[in-house]
């Protein structure tokens, strides 16, 4: 869910207009418990959508509300349009069928970004990944290496519902080929719900040469299929 921190966040994070406004109190536990039942949508279809609220953990405020909607599904790829509340421009991410990112704007990930899900999910499963992040506009190349582990199963409740999830911890490092002294270390925690074929919560922490650059949490506030 990459490159420089703002662009990476755009890929990891997504949402829509059901978020509470920055500065408002979050919903109570009782309100969350009344969320509607989970609607199964394991295999992605055109028109599927997931809406996320993005919270900046450094400022403590909601920084964005983003919507991911599937525009096309092929045997090998899933194309997803990204929209952000209050913004006119849309983005497009292209994933493989395991939700590893392959393309986002000018960035290409070869073979992919490695931040997806490896099936079958089971507690204790681990996998490594490596590749190149290539900016087609500037020619910049970042070398990426990382590791993911399924650390447990948890029940997560958001305003979109209550979900049975697998928790996946991912750590990765990136270095630009033109200046290997620079280093970007990223930690991602993903709560993936097989019933809806997507994550319901993610945390993202990015450090540049050991200095904190970003700390964000996304939570699912709405999802569904095209009627």
Whether 10 shows a pLDDT value over 70: the answer reads no
Residues in the chain: 227
Whether 104 shows a pLDDT value over 60: the answer reads yes
Distance, CA of 217 to CA of 195 (rounded, Å): 21
Whether residue 111 is preceded by a cis peptide bond, meaning omega within 30 degrees of 0, is yes
Which secondary-structure segment (H or E) carries 31? helix 29-33
* C-alpha separations of 67 from 16, 128, 158, 191, 218 in Å: 5, 29, 16, 18, 12
Whether 108 shows a pLDDT value over 80: the answer reads yes
140-165 as b/e, with b when 16 or more CB fall inside 10 Å?
Answer: bebebebebebeeeeebbbbbbbbeb
Reported as a single tens digit per residue, the pLDDT across 111-132 is 999 999 998 999 999 999 999 9
The pLDDT value given to residue 141 = 96
Reported as a single tens digit per residue, the pLDDT across 29-82 is 334 445 567 888 888 999 999 999 999 999 999 989 999 999 999 999 999 999
* C-alpha separations of 54 from 98, 197, 205 in Å: 23, 20, 13
Query: Residues 6 or more apart from 227 whose CB is under 8 A from it?
Result: none
Average pLDDT across the chain, whole number? 86
| Sequence spans of domains, the chain | 5-224
Whether 19 shows a pLDDT value over 80: the answer reads no
Span 5-224: which CATH code? 2.40.360
pLDDT grade, residue 99 (50/70/90)?
Answer: very high
The pLDDT value given to residue 226 = 82
What three-state secondary structure class fits 8? Answer: helix
| Low-confidence winner among 9-18, 65-74, 149-158, 200-209 (lowest mean pLDDT) | 9-18
The pLDDT value given to residue 50 = 96
């Amino acid at each position: 869910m990459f490159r420089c921190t703002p662009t990476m966040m755009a890929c990891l994070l997504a949402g829509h207009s059901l978020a509470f406004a920055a500065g408002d109190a979050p919903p109570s536990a009782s309100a969350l418990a009344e969320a509607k039942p989970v609607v199964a949508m394991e295999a992605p279809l055109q028109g599927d959508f997931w809406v996320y609220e993005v919270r900046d953990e450094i400022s403590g405020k909601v920084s964005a509300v983003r919507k991911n909607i599937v525009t096309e599904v092929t045997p090998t790829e899933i194309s997803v349009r990204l929209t952000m509340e209050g913004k006119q421009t849309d983005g497009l991410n292209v994933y493989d069928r395991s939700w590893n990112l392959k393309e986002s704007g000018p960035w290409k990930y070869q073979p992919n970004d490695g931040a997806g899900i490896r099936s079958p999910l089971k507690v204790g499963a681990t996998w490594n990944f490596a590749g190149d992040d290539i900016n087609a506009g500037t020619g910049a190349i970042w070398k990426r290496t990382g590791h993911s582990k399924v650390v447990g199963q948890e029940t997560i409740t958001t305003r979109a519902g209550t979900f049975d999830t697998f928790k996946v911890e991912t750590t990765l490092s990136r270095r630009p080929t033109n200046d290997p002294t620079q280093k970007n270390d990223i930690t991602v925690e993903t709560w993936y719900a097989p019933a809806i074929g997507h994550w319901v919560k993610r945390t993202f922490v990015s450090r540049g040469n050991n200095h904190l650059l970003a700390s964000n949490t996304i939570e699912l506030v709405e999802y569904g299929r095209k009627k």
